[in-house]
Copies of this chain bind each other. A is one copy, B any other.
Amino acid sequence: MSHITLAHGNGGHFMRQLIEEVFAAQLSNPVLDANADAATLPAMTGELMMSVDGFTVKPLEFPGGNIGSLAIHGTVNDLAVSGAIPRYLSLSAIIEEGLELATLERIIHAMAEAARAAGVQIACGDTKVVPRGEGSGVFLTTTGVGVRDKNLQLGLNNIKNTDRILVSGPVGDHGTAIMLAREQFGLSGDVHSDADSVLPLCQALHNLTGLRFMRDPTRGGLATVLHEIHDVTGLGIRVRQTHIPIQDPVNAVCEILGYDPLYLACEGRVVAVVAEEQAEEALSRWHALETGRQAHIIGHMTADLSRVVLETELGGERILEELEDDPLPRIC
């Protein structure tokens, strides 16, 4: 069979074959047992953290990745920015009848590669098939368990006045790449998704005592992370447009279509809030990494403001409002 049928989800022969030949063949590791209802996890020392993400990106494949690699990076990154080392993931796949088997194989292959690179293992999985027209190719959900770095106490509540805000690289690449991959705008370009594990970026800052908080700016982009920081801390934020790294093709596409790249998703960047006196140290650690070469200090927390304010290129000021309408659904 070259396409997924309902029989691939019924618990019987074809489902077992699919699980063995596609999922287990690619994702196999000592913890995963395709015959068991649950996996026994090897002992982990330290406090455990848990995170979950659902993935519905459309198209399933895009420059720089596919929904499979994204499903690893998304959950790995949620744990990484929370100060944990990701270890084991669960995987749920909800597949639409008619999906090409070769597409599914590429997705699971990319997932296996991303898992290896991030040092995580798929501990258990589940597959369901829904009738044609009641799904969308494939939806994935991953839940990750990791060990918290015991020296870290990260959280929005740690953020103080004058703290610096850093971003690890150009923003909006992922959202723009997905948009271009949809071809509905009649545009094409060579923007690649930034989707990647941010674990090295996060670990580089782990022993900085002035590290307050990290987050990966996915849905809603950088602007939405800044709003969350503002909402919880009650502090104002001032960022400078010229300090926010954005790639030229991203800017160009956004200008044509009227999008603001500050609201577009990244899947491989980190926003970090660091004490003023350690901001330069944090920046130089990021600059030393391949994925952090374009990192910038983009602004700071300030009790003098009650909004998120962007200093524009020309010296003006613009208030970054909270996202209301969805500029770009299904980017993750």
Interface set of A (CB-CB < 8 Å, partner B):
6-7, 9-15, 35-41, 43-44, 47-56, 58, 78-79, 81-82, 84, 88, 90-94, 123-131, 133-136, 139, 141, 143-146, 148, 155-156, 215-216, 218-220, 224, 228, 232, 322-327, 329-330, 332
In the complex, what's the smallest C-beta–C-beta distance from A103 to chain B, in angstroms?
A: 16
Extra contacts besides A38-B146, A130-B139, A135-B135 (12): CB < 8 Å: A7-B325, A10-B220, A10-B323, A36-B155, A38-B50, A44-B48, A52-B90, A56-B94, A56-B130, A94-B141, A130-B330, A143-B143
User: Beyond A12-B224, A38-B78, A329-B129, is A90–B322 a contact (Cβ under 8 Å)?
Assistant: no
Instruction: Kindly state the separation between the CA atoms of A135 and B58 in the bound complex, as whole angstroms.
Output: 13
Give bound CA distance, A41 to B47, whole Å: 7
Q: How many copies does the complex hold?
A: 2
Select which of B10, B36, B218 is within 8 A of A325 by beta carbon. B10
What is the distance, in angstroms, from A105's C-beta to the closest C-beta of chain B?
Answer: 19
Q: Do residues A220 and B51 form an inter-chain contact, with CB atoms below 8 A?
A: no
Determine whether the beta carbon of A82 is less than 8 Å from that of B50.
Answer: no
Bound-complex Cα distance A88 to B47 (A): 14
> Which of B47, B53, B228 is within 8 Å of A35, CB to CB?
B228
Given contacts A36-B82, A47-B41, A51-B39, contact A219 B10 (CB under 8 A): yes
Residues in B whose Cβ lies below 8 Å from that of A218:
11
Q: Which residue of B lies closest to A54 (CB)?
A: B92
Q: Which of B15, B126, B130, B156 contacts A53 (CB 8 A)?
A: B126
Cα distance A79–B224 in the bound complex, in angstroms = 37
Q: Are B50 and A41 in contact (CB under 8 A)?
A: yes
Question: In the complex, which residues of chain B have a beta carbon less than 8 angstroms from the beta carbon of A91?
Answer: 52
Q: Please, which residues of chain B bring their CB within 8 A of the CB of A12?
A: 220, 224, 322-324, 326
Q: Nearest B residue to A83 by beta-carbon distance?
A: B38
CA distance A228 to B9 in the complex (A): 16
CB distance from A150 to the nearest CB of B (A): 11
Q: List 12 A-B contacts (CB under 8 A).
A: A7-B324, A9-B219, A10-B327, A11-B323, A36-B155, A37-B78, A52-B91, A52-B125, A54-B128, A130-B139, A130-B329, A141-B143
